[in-house]
Amino acid sequence: MHWIWSVAALLTANVIFTRMPKKASSLYLSFDDGPHPEHTPALLDLLKQHEAKATFFLIGNQALAHPGIVQRIVDEGHTIGNHSMTHARLKRLPSREQIREIEQADSVLARFNGKVRQLIRPPHGRATITTILHGLRHRQPIVLWSIDSLDYSLGPDQVVARLAQTKVGPGDILLFHDDGSTAGDALRRLLPRWKASGLRLDPM
């Protein structure tokens, strides 16, 4: 299915991104489903240790519940993005409610970074016609990914092995999740390897 989104990106004036432009040696970590009161701070500690930046796609109601963590993400130079207000399955909602999910989360996150419109990653990466048209209208990018770590279904050892066997390079967007411990356990081993290979972890 990945090629479908690549074609969609070309047909929608680059509103949909599955990769970032290849800029020097930049690699782009992204985390979904936070902020989590335990796992997100641990990830932030790890990223700081390795001088790595990332993009956190946050659920609006989770951001409201843990504002201090969101502020820390922003203060430490990471990017925050919109992962909807409640992590609803957007395709099951009427168009008006889909837009409400996006706009409410935008409003919450604007309190932290001052941006009226955020990067969007729809729950489960399922962009709908409504969200695509919304992105086109407001010049609001929908950011998916080029490499899925599968950290939501694999253990840390399996994630490390999977990514060791995957060609990871400049412009790639990697999908992880910060609502569990697997990402941190895997990245503790992966970050030094990527940095040693000359890759730099940048925010979007």
The residue to which tokens 């991104």 are assigned: 17
Q: Choose, from 78, 177, 179, 202, the residue flagged as catalytic.
A: 177
Residue 78 known to be catalytic: no
Task: Name the pairing type of β-strands 26-34 and 54-58.
Answer: parallel
Q: Residues with Cβ < 8 Å from 118, sequence gap 6 or more?
A: 80, 81, 82, 105, 106, 109, 110, 140
Q: d(Cα 150, Cα 134) in Å, to the nearest integer? A: 28
Q: d(Cα 111, Cα 64) in Å, to the nearest integer? A: 10
Residue 151 known to be catalytic: no
Helix, strand, or coil (residue 142): strand
The total of other beta-carbon atoms located within 10 Å of residue 113's CB is 14
Q: Choose, from 32, 106, 178, 202, the residue flagged as catalytic.
A: 32
**DSSP letter string over 40-94?**
HHHHHHHHHHTT--EEEEE-HHHHHH-HHHHHHHHHTT-EEEE--SS---GGGS-
Catalytic site positions: 32, 177
